[in-house]
Structure 1
Amino acid sequence: MDHCLSLPGAWSDQPWEGDHVAKVGDKIFAFIGETSVGLKCGRSRDEADEWLRRYPDDASVMAYIGRYGWNTLKLGGAITDDEVLEAVDTSYADVVARLPKAKRPPQPGS
C-alpha cells in the first residue's frame, strides 16, 4: 500500500516470511496484505469494535493483537478507500505518538 510508505519516516519490512508491514521508527503501524490491511483502529478493543459494528463483513479482530485495538480491514468492499486511508493515517499517528520523541520522524509543517 503506497499510502503507508508515503508517510514521514515510514518504511517497509518483512519481519516474518511472507508478512509485509509498514513501520515508523521500529514499530509496526500497518500489516499489508493483498486484499486487506491490519491497523490499530482504536485505543481499546471497545473503541476498535466500532469498525466491526459498521462493517461486519469487512472488518475483523486481528489474531493475537486484536485485544489491543487492532483490526483487519478488507480492501475493495464496503469500507471506502477514503475510510481506509484515514484509518491508516490514524494508526500511523497513534504509533508515532507512542514513540520516544527522539525516534519520531519530523512531521510536515513542524
Structure 2
Amino acid sequence: MTVDELVAYCLAKPGAEETYPWGDAELVAKVGGKAFAFIGLVEGSVGLKCGAGEDDTREWRDRYPEDISVSHYIGRYGWNKVRLAGKVPDEEITELVDTSYHAIVAKLPKSKRPV
C-alpha cells in the first residue's frame, strides 16, 4: 500500500478530517477531533490503535516483527506503528485502519460520532 492509497482510505471514512499538527511530514487523520491514524508521509508508516493496551497489540508485532513496532510515546495505550513498504498485506493494513477508526469512534460522545 502506498502512502497516497492509505491517506485516501483513511480520509474516506465518515467524518474523517486531515490535520498537520507537526508540519508537512505527518498527517493525522481524525474523527470527532480525535486521532485514529498518524501517517508518516516521508517515512511511509502509519500509527494505529490496535488494542486496549500494549499487550493486546503484541499479536501484530509477533506476526510482522520487521514491519510493526510499538508506537513511540503512545504504545502503552494500544498503538502500533506499521511500515507500509514491508510484508504486511494491504488488506491487513486496511483491517488495522478500520479497527483503529472504530475504536476511536466508539469512545466519542454520541454528539461527535459520524452519522
Q: TM-score range by the shorter chain?
A: over 0.9
TM value normalised by structure 2: 0.89
Alignment of 1:103 with 2:112, yes or no, is yes
Partner of 1:27: 34
Over 6 Å off, 4+ runs = none
Query: Which position in structure 1 is the counterpart of 2:68?
Result: 59
Native 8 Å contact 2:53 2:75 kept in 1:
no
Which residue in 2 is equivalent to 1:70?
Answer: 79
Cα shift at 1:76 = 2.4
CA distance in 1, matches of 2:32, 2:48: 16
Q: Which runs of 5+ in 1 are unaligned?
A: none
What's the offset of the Cα at 1:14?
A: 0.7
Give the unaligned 5+ runs of structure 2. Answer: 1-6
- The percentage of aligned residue pairs carrying the same residue is 57
TM superposition shift of 1:38: 0.6
Give the aligned CA root-mean-square deviation in angstroms.
0.8
Scaled by the length of structure 1, what TM-score is found? 0.93
Give the distance between the partners of 1:19 and 1:85, measured in 2 at CA: 19
Aligned equivalent of 2:16: 10
